[in-house]
Amino acid sequence: MKRRDFIKKVGTGSGALAGGAVGATAILGAPAVHAQEKTYEWKMVTTWPKNFPGLGTGAEFLADTITRMTNGRVKVRVYGAGELVPAFEAFGAVSQGTAQMGHGAAYYWKGKSEAAQFFAAVPFGLTAQEMNGWIYHGGGMELWKEIYADFNLVPTAAGNTGVQMGGWFNKEIKTIDDLKGLKMRIPGLGGEVLKRAGGTPVSLPGGEIFTSLESGAIDATEWVGPYNDKAFGLFKAAKYYYYPGFHEPGTTLESFINKDALEELPDHLQLIVLNACRVANQDMLAEFTNRNNQALQSLINEEGVVLKKFPDEVLAELRRLSEDVVADVAETDEMTRKVYESYKAFRAQAIDWHTVSEQAYLNARNPKGVV
């Protein structure tokens, strides 16, 4: 009834309603008028071929996730290896601000920091689950940020392949001596282990692997696992497919972000970008887990690939060499020693726990092992 009395006093008709609206606005306060929100155009350079399954599409997924989660305020365009800069120049391009983001793997940057390798893969090191534990809750991220700060970069985990395959060979590996003189595409610390075993590690971007293996420029190669390896057609250039990937037990893929570009964003957009990387990290591992066995069965049953396990004696010697290599690398400089000590302590903790959890369960689930 009081409302009706109020309306009567205000009057009727369009003019009176307009006057009433003005009066109400004066009482309640005018609605806020927002200025046009600023948008940001970002480039992401990668070490992968454009849209390559798993890795290249993982970069696209991350770019799309950032663009959509920010409602288009941060629009990210992906450039595959060689489109804007060569694969192994992505790190420098983002550091210098040529691009705002990069997508790759930290062991590619050992020439810039030996310690960086620990944030990709360590032979006989941490699995994907354990890497996430160390990075997010075990002190790894703080160390990673400290390293990349020297290059004006902010690192993030942005994918994981899980345990990789041991690689493609045109001869059987029966003893450790079969690795002597072998030219193999294998990056990071795994390459150093091969070198200690008498082989020759070769660093090649993904797009050059098949032609190098087919032409005989290299004798063997590792890449990722069945899903990615089948897409590259590596089965056409080598007969034997070895497991397990002792050199890359849970390879973390990274997105490295130009620090100035990130800090230019409002705080909430920075948080969205960093959390989108976490989403991508989880999604890539889920995709590889789903697709790898399907691809492996296809390689064996349709392409005639011969699946082989590294002999136990070979793995035992590679494990011994790996411990020596990693310990020696740790002596490179103070920062690498610091990262090594953190990684080593977390690995010991993870082994103790997973012996009575993950490993015990897997042994119980499949007591006969892999045939």
207-258 pLDDT, tens digit each: 999 999 999 999 999 999 999 999 999 999 999 999 999 999 999 999 999 9
Secondary structure element (H or E) that encloses residue 17, with its range: helix 14-28
Max alpha carbon distance in the chain (Å)?
A: 101
Residue 15 has pLDDT above 80, yes or no: no
- CATH architecture of the region 167-248+291-353: 3-Layer(aba) Sandwich (3.40)
In 3D space, the residue among 149, 197, 136, 137 whose CA is nearest the CA of residue 325 turns out to be 197
Confidence (pLDDT) at 100: 98
Residue 34 has pLDDT above 80, yes or no: no
At 218, the amino acid letter reads I
* Residues 296-318: tens digit of each pLDDT: 999 999 999 999 999 999 999 99
Domain 40-163+250-289 has CATH 3.40.50.300: no
Residue 326 has pLDDT above 90, yes or no: yes
Boundaries of CATH 3.40.190.170 in the chain? 40-163+250-289
At 90, the amino acid letter reads A
* Residues 49-69: tens digit of each pLDDT: 999 999 999 999 999 999 999
345-348 long-range contacts, CB within 8 A, separation 24+: 346/126, 346/130, 346/133, 346/134, 346/138, 346/139, 346/140, 347/125, 347/126, 347/130
For residue 20, name the pLDDT band (cuts at 50, 70, 90).
very low
Confidence (pLDDT) at 219: 97
Question: Once rounded to an integer, what is the mean pLDDT over residues 317-343?
Answer: 98
Confidence (pLDDT) at 337: 98
Kindly tell me the sign of the dihedral angle through the C-alpha atoms of 118, 121, 125, 130: positive
How far, in Å, CA of 82 to CA of 90, rounded?
9
Strand partners for 184 = 201, 220
Kindly report the pTM of this predicted structure. Answer: 0.88
Confidence (pLDDT) at 343: 98
Boundaries of CATH 3.40.190.10 in the chain? 167-248+291-353
At 1, the amino acid letter reads M
How far, in Å, CA of 191 to CA of 304, rounded?
28
Residue 33 has pLDDT above 90, yes or no: no
Residue 117 has pLDDT above 60, yes or no: yes
In 3D space, the residue among 332, 293, 346, 361 whose CA is nearest the CA of residue 129 turns out to be 346
Confidence (pLDDT) at 172: 97
Question: Once rounded to an integer, what is the mean pLDDT over residues 169-176?
Answer: 97
At 105, the amino acid letter reads A
For residue 369, name the pLDDT band (cuts at 50, 70, 90).
low
For residue 177, name the pLDDT band (cuts at 50, 70, 90).
very high
171 in helix, strand or coil? coil
Residue 88 has pLDDT above 70, yes or no: yes
Confidence (pLDDT) at 10: 42
Residue 1 has pLDDT above 90, yes or no: no
Confidence (pLDDT) at 368: 75
Give the burial class of 221: count Cβ atoms within 10 A of its Cβ; 0-12 exposed, 13-18 middle, 19 or more buried: buried
Confidence (pLDDT) at 8: 45
